[in-house]
């Protein structure tokens, strides 16, 4: 049985996952060619029984070569890189791992907030370059954190921010209002979120519906000097507008862990801006999160092999078809 892996960096390498894979004896093929859009999947997809995918696209073209493929497993949560309708049309179930990496991403969001509040990256560069430029920062306790998207990650971040003394408000059309009420999290509309937040953290899915959700108009409505964090998808922010807002001082800082193209085009001037902080889409890359995700992927594959239906399947209709 052959499992094809894309560039998900830790699958099968952390925690209990290596031992479990050794027990199962599955053949693993890693597609890690970052110079190719599909990571090299097309070279091996014809022999794959299961595809565990990170960020590379799973398209109709990919699926057309996948004669043996029985399922696509997302190594993570966001599935905007997977053509689910195309999978469904071919009877291929798709499953993801909701909640498995929520704490990891939420902790990185906090780290990026501290990085901006205390100018940690710039101070580090200054010290190792021979400087001694002490900067007066700000504390995050007492500030207002706005969360756009109160899903698993947003809720985890909200609890951690509350523990640090922040006021938390959120926008989400499907918000868990019982959770919000229990933890004194204000559910507001987007204009109020923009206007009140000292820090605005994005945790929504990508795709056309959320493209350029944070554009020049949205940025102009934010509190002057507020700081923006994008740990969602690159297309959610208009990077040109973010750069302009940093230049004008409308934004006091911006942090990114997701980009429209990855790796990004580093010729863009935002990559030299002193108030911007960047991470290589590694919010979910902790030993603990990678173990959680890997075990969930393995469990779903085992369920499918046994003829069952994974609880996390996103297109359950593929199991409800009857033979002609």
196 is catalytic: no
* Residues forming beta bridges with residue 136, ordered by sequence position: none
Instruction: Respond yes or no: is residue 107 known to be catalytic.
Output: no
Q: Is 44 a catalytic residue?
A: no
CATH of region 102-278: 3.40.50.720
Digit-by-digit pLDDT tens for the chain (324 residues) are: 999 888 665 666 778 888 888 899 999 898 888 778 888 899 999 999 999 998 889 999 999 999 999 999 999 988 989 999 999 999 999 999 999 999 999 999 999 999 999 999 999 999 999 999 999 999 999 999 999 999 999 999 999 999 999 999 999 999 999 999 999 999 999 999 999 999 999 999 888 888 999 999 999 999 999 999 999 999 999 999 999 999 999 999 999 999 999 889 999 999 999 999 999 999 999 999 999 999 999 999 999 999 999 999 999 999 986 444
Q: Which of the following is catalytic: 30, 203, 233, 312?
A: 233
Q: Where would I find the H helices in 70-229?
A: 84-89, 102-117, 120-128, 152-163, 177-182, 190-196, 216-220
Measured CA to CA, the distance from residue 26 to residue 283 in angstroms comes to: 28
Give per-residue pLDDT as tens, 271-296. 999 999 999 999 999 999 999 999 99
Q: Are 289 and 107 in contact (CB under 8 A)?
A: no
In the chain, residues under CATH classification 3.40.50.720 are: 2-100+286-319, 102-278
Nearest to 187 by CA among 219, 150, 213, 216: 150
Torsion of CA 275, 280, 281, 284, to 10 degrees: -110
Query: Which position among 75, 155, 281, 312 bears the catalytic label?
Result: 281
CATH fold group of domain 2-100+286-319: Rossmann fold (3.40.50)
Closest by CA to 75, choosing from 114, 149, 17, is 17
**Among the listed residues 215, 161, 169, 159, the one whose alpha carbon sits nearest the alpha carbon of residue 192:** 169
The catalytic position among 27, 181, 262, 302 is 262
pTM of the model: 0.89
């Amino acid at each position: 049985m052959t499992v094809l892996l894309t560039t998900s960096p830790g699958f099968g390498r952390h925690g209990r996952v290596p031992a479990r894979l050794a027990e199962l004896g599955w053949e693993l093929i890693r597609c890690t060619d970052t110079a190719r859009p599909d990571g090299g999947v097309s070279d091996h997809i014809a022999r794959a029984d299961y595809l565990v995918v990170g960020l590379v696209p799973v398209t109709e073209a990919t699926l057309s070569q996948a004669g043996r493929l029985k399922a696509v497993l997302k190594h993570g949560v966001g599935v905007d890189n997977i053509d689910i309708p195309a999978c469904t049309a071919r009877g291929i179930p798709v499953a993801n791992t909701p909640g498995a990496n929520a704490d990891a991403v939420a902790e990185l969001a906090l780290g990026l907030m501290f990085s901006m509040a205390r100018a940690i990256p710039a101070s580090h560069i200054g010290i190792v370059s021979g400087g001694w430029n002490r900067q007066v920062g700000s504390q995050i306790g007492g500030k207002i954190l706005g969360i756009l998207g109160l899903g698993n990650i947003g809720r985890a971040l909200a609890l951690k921010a509350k523990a640090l003394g922040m006021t938390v408000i959120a926008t989400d059309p499907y918000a868990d209002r019982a959770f919000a009420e229990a933890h004194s999290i204000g559910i507001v509309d987007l204009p109020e979120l923009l206007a009140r937040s000292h820090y605005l953290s994005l945790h929504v899915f990508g795709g056309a519906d959320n493209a350029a959700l944070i554009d020049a108009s949205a940025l102009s409505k934010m509190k002057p000097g507020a700081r923006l964090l994008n740990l969602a998808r690159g297309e959610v922010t208009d990077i040109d507008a973010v750069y302009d807002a940093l230049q004008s001082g409308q934004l006091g800082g911006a942090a990114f862990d997701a980009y429209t193209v990855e790796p990004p085009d580093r010729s863009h001037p935002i990559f030299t801006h002193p108030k911007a902080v960047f991470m290589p889409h590694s919010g979910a890359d902790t030993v603990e999160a990678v173990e959680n995700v890997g075990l969930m992927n393995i469990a779903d594959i085992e369920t499918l092999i046994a003829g069952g239906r994974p609880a996390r399947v996103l297109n359950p209709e593929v199991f409800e078809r009857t033979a002609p």
